[in-house]
Amino acid sequence: CHLWSKIVLLAEWIVKMGVTTVIAILAWFGVQWYLTNQQKHKEDVAFAVDKVVDLTKTRKFLAVEQMKKELSSSGFSKDAITEAFNVASRDSRINLDSINNIAGLRWVGETSTSSLSTPWISDRGEADRSISSYVLPPTACLKIRGMFTPARKIMNDEDIMQLVDTILEKSTGNRIIHVVVDRKSPDGIVYLRCLTRSDAGGVFKNLNCSMYEGRPISIKFVRESRYDEKFPDSAKCTRPLRPSSQK
């Protein structure tokens, strides 16, 4: 009887441990599923905001229903579309408007300031700051628009280095590991990759909606898979870049 009671206790202990282990495993998978879905939602919102801004800028007026239809056809969820609309509508370059009782977003453009004592002007209003703080870093890769004009001929390495130094100095504290200046871009495009998504978020907040040499700077997050396709060698970069003056 004494032996049997020990066997029963052992069996109960094994069952309890098994149940506890199963619950722990299910809980772990549940947390991972939740975090993955949250991150995907953040990415979707960030990319949806970019698409809304681009569509509004291109068409000058974007009806709300048309926006929902196009984003939905691109695979964005209803929640992502709603959040993207709320964020984009706070952009200082966009106004809420209506034409023939059709609600939509109207592109009003940027305010340019040509006579500047410093190349960077960081504050373009509370609405712009709200966008920067709202959009969380979905990837570690960024596309900066407006860093130079088509009239500016970037022909040599010294010009490129100066432009890269400008970005690195403005992004102090955020680890940038790869930078490419698209010399032929009519929009002054610069691509960059950060060591982590957190670093990319810091660069985004520092540069997005700033003014550089009188031009508005805008930044988009680029999916890492696309960045790898465009710049395969960037995946091997791990050392943070520093301005030439600090080398």
Confidence of residue 114 (pLDDT cuts 50, 70, 90): very low
The architecture (CATH level 2) of 120-246 comes to 2-Layer Sandwich (3.30)
Say which range, 10-19, 61-70, 164-173, has the weakest mean pLDDT. Answer: 10-19
Q: Which two tokens stand for residue 198?
A: 């957190």
For residue 135, the model assigns a pLDDT of 53
pLDDT of residue 130: 41
Task: Give tens-digit pLDDT for 121-180.
Answer: 665 444 344 444 445 678 999 999 888 876 555 557 777 888 899 999 999 889 999 999
Higher per-residue confidence, 246 vs 238: 238
pTM: 0.58
Which residue ranges does the chain devote to CATH 3.30.70.330? 120-246
Closest C-alpha among 23, 49, 26, 31 to residue 220: 49
**Residues 131-160 as b or e (16 or more Cβ within 10 Å = b):** bbeebbbbbbbbbbbbbbeeeeebeeeeeb
Q: What is the CATH number of domain 1-109?
A: 1.10.10.10
